[in-house]
Amino acid sequence: MVTREIMGKIIAIANQKGGVGKTTTTANLGASLGQLGKNVLLVDFDPQGNLTTGFLGSAKTIIQKDVTDALTKQVPVKNTIIKTKFENVSILPAASNRLATIETEYANVEGRELLLKDILDQVKDTYDFIFIDCPPSLGMLSIQAFTSSDTVLITLQSEFYALEGLSQLLNTIDQVRRRSNPQLGIEGVLITMYDARTLLGAQVIGDVRNYFYNKVYDTIIPRNIGLAEAPSHQMPIYYYDSRSKGAIAYIELAKEVLQANGN
Ligand code: ADP
Ligand code: MG
């Protein structure tokens, strides 16, 4: 019998700004790794639930149990995970904005930063990669995500203000390292929504490389209409338009991630 070694690597996809490609990257890097034969779990950890909508559309409203039920231990986490129709991809959905209430309900509860870690530890050995789609803030949910993760993958939109506010994100990562997860690393920095026609884009790449050196992925995600359209068809880009620039870029990124992880 051939046994395959499961990596069980947990990666938080983060940036406290909204609209910088976190959810798009979670869905499409995840689905691309699935295409390449890796078993992937995507965790929707943004109360807005965009990742869940992008996979399930209106079926989201009939989901009975979601990530909040697992976090609050109402339901075993395994019973809240849904296998998608896309190869090797499962999702732990956020089907209601109850996730937002966790932040206040657990505000004074000891060990609250470990809630997500507790449930992911139970399924970690089932997947090669677990990606956590973080909310656009640095509150308790992001702290839980960083506490659960081996590394953080930072997405940066190719825009003039790309690096603004990053020191807050890096400070939060440091704080989590000091308090609960000393091993937390930076997986990589991904430039998204790049427009090759503008000089600004080239300048942003230069600035980001000066700041993060070799942590920046060679793969740059272009601005591509297919990437914006695919979620409304409940598909990752690879399934929506496999020949689009967006699909090709996320497959390239997946290969880069595999290589960085010794595959
Ligand atoms: P975040 O999760 O950081 O808030 P999203 O991934 O939801 O960001 O992206 C914000 C918006 O931009 C969404 O409407 C998404 O479809 C679109 N988008 C993301 N990446 C691209 C891209 N490379 N090209 C075109 N549109 C994109
Ligand atoms: Mg998002």
State pLDDT tens for residues 42-57. Answer: 999 999 999 999 999 9
Instruction: Give the Cα separation of 162 and 17 in Å (integer).
Output: 9
pLDDT value, residue 97: 83
Q: Is residue 193 included in any domain, yes or no?
A: yes
Consecutive H or E run containing 44: strand 40-44
What ligand is nearest to the CA atom of residue 25?
Answer: 1
Mean pLDDT of 155-171: 91
Q: Is residue 156 included in any domain, yes or no?
A: yes
Is the pLDDT confidence value at 143 over 80? yes
Is the pLDDT confidence value at 24 over 90? yes
pLDDT value, residue 196: 83
What ligand is nearest to the CA atom of residue 135?
Answer: 2
How far apart are the CA of 48 and the centre of ligand 2, in A? 8
Q: Is residue 133 included in any domain, yes or no?
A: yes
What ligand is nearest to the CA atom of residue 19?
Answer: 1
Q: Is residue 149 included in any domain, yes or no?
A: yes
Instruction: Return residues with CB closer than 5 A to ligand 2 (ion).
Output: 22-23, 50
How many structural domains are present in the chain?
1
How far apart are the CA of 126 and the centre of ligand 1, in A? 29
Mean pLDDT of 77-89: 96
Percent of the chain at pLDDT > 70 equals: 98
Residue whose CA is at the smallest distance from ligand 1 atom 10: 19
Determine contact, residues 47/94, Cβ cutoff 8 Å.
yes
Q: Which residues lie with the beta carbon below 6 Å from any ligand 1 atom?
A: 18-24, 50, 136, 192-193, 221, 223-224, 227-228, 246
How far apart are the CA of 5 and the centre of ligand 2, in A? 31
Q: Is residue 2 included in any domain, yes or no?
A: no
Instruction: Give the Cα separation of 178 and 113 in Å (integer).
Output: 13
Residue 7 — very low, low, confident or very high, per pLDDT cuts 50/70/90?
Answer: confident
pLDDT value, residue 5: 74
Global pTM value: 0.97
Q: Is residue 3 included in any domain, yes or no?
A: no
Tokens of residue 154, six digits: 């930072």
Closest ligand 1 atom to Cα of 230: 16
Residue 2 — very low, low, confident or very high, per pLDDT cuts 50/70/90?
Answer: low
Helix ranges, 36-98 (H): 50-56, 67-71
Helix ranges, 180-220 (H): 199-212
How far apart are the CA of 182 and the centre of ligand 2, in A? 26
Which domain, by its residues, includes 70? Answer: 9-260
How far apart are the CA of 136 and the centre of ligand 2, in A? 7
Mean pLDDT of 12-21: 97
Range with lowest mean pLDDT among 48-57, 122-131, 180-189, 196-205: 196-205
How far apart are the CA of 19 and the centre of ligand 1, in A? 6
Residue whose CA is at the smallest distance from ligand 1 atom 26: 228
Q: Is residue 191 included in any domain, yes or no?
A: yes
Domain CATH number, residue 188: 3.40.50.300
pLDDT value, residue 209: 93
Tell me, what amino acid is at 205? I
pLDDT value, residue 1: 54
Tokens of residue 235, six digits: 């598909």
Residue 226 — very low, low, confident or very high, per pLDDT cuts 50/70/90?
Answer: very high
Q: What is the DSSP letter of 213?
A: G
What ligand is nearest to the CA atom of residue 27?
Answer: 1
